[in-house]
Amino acid sequence: MPQNFRQTEILDIARYEKKVVVEELAERLGVTVQTIRRDLSDLTDEGKLERVHGGAILPSTVSNIGYEDRQSLNEGAKVDIAKRCAREIPDNSSLFMNIGTSTEAVARELLKHNNLTVITNNMNVANILVANESCDIKVAGGTLRRSDGGLIGDLTIQVIEQFKVDFAVIGTSSMDHDGDLLDFDLQEVRVSKAIIKQARKTYLVTDASKLKRNAPVRIASLSEIDAIFTDKLPSDLRMKCEAWDTKVYETSK
């Protein structure tokens, strides 16, 4: 089967089944798994699919990818980004950490930091940092979102508003070329806005794949962020960050 027809077939299967698996596609289309991986990489580069562990899914503009699939998206890039961000957070600091697999990656890199105070609306972040006996963890109350361990709602915001911290480490579901950070859940966005407002410095951790996604609710602009930690940032956005005094840390450089 020619490549263009095969990739069209892969997209048709993805639309019908919501997710495609490398080994199943190889058997179904009569090609090697290496060929399927190349096809999925091509379709991902074109923004038609998003790679997850073992396969790919269709990108969505109205709902987020499932938590388990988000965990495996660009896992290596997230680890590098998290390591770089953690280096900018000194011992004896206070910080907010919001919902997201990227912020969870940063939490893992903070396990050896000393005397931290962390306020979070992410149950996964709290559970990770339990292993750091030198970290004082405060969990913002609210409504538990069972799908990913996030806490959202008015009660969460009320708790956050009681603090003024040194740093906020936040993630985002999408970032457009105007420099706007976007997400899917209005309640989650309201919490993220409160976090930014109550932090002296805000650090964004996000990989470049977020530029290929769309989401409907605006969190903030990169102009409101003190630093972005990413694997790669397009030159147009890098220039805007320079004008906004937003520091850029790229792990690919």
pLDDT one-digit tens code per residue, 56-78: 887 755 445 555 555 556 678 89
Separation CA 84–CA 64 (nearest Å): 26
Q: What is the third-level CATH fold of 74-250?
A: Rossmann fold (3.40.50)
Whether residue 111 contacts residue 200, with contact meaning beta carbons closer than 8 Å, is answered with no
Q: How far apart are the first and last CA of the chain?
A: 39
Name which of 78-92, 120-134, 200-214, 216-230 the model is least confident about. 200-214
Please give the share of the chain, as a percent, with pLDDT higher than 70: 93
Q: What is the pLDDT of residues 22-51, one digit of tens each?
A: 999 999 898 999 999 999 988 887 878 878
pLDDT tens-digit map of 163-186: 999 999 999 989 998 999 999 889
Q: How does DSSP assign 71-112, residue by residue?
A: HHTTHHHHHHHHHHHHHTS-SS-EEEE-SSHHHHHHHHHTTT
By CB atoms closer than 10 A (0-12, 13-18, 19+), residue 190 is middle
What pLDDT does 47 receive?
Answer: 76
Residue 203 has pLDDT above 90, yes or no: yes
d(CA 228, CA 247): 6
Confidence of residue 253 (pLDDT cuts 50, 70, 90): low
> What number is the average pLDDT over the span 193-220?
93
Give whole-number Cα distances, 183 to 1, 92, 100, 131, 214, in Å: 39, 31, 11, 30, 8
Q: What is the pLDDT of residue 212?
A: 78
pTM for the model stands at 0.75
* pLDDT surpassing 90 at residue 2: no
pLDDT-derived band of residue 239, with 50, 70 and 90 as boundaries?
Answer: very high
User: Domain segments of the chain: what residues?
Assistant: 3-59, 74-250
Report pLDDT for 18.
76
pLDDT digits (tens, 9 = 90+) for 103-159: 999 999 999 999 999 999 999 999 999 999 999 999 998 999 888 889 999 999 999
Residue with tokens 């893992």: 108
The class of domain 3-59 in CATH terms is mainly alpha
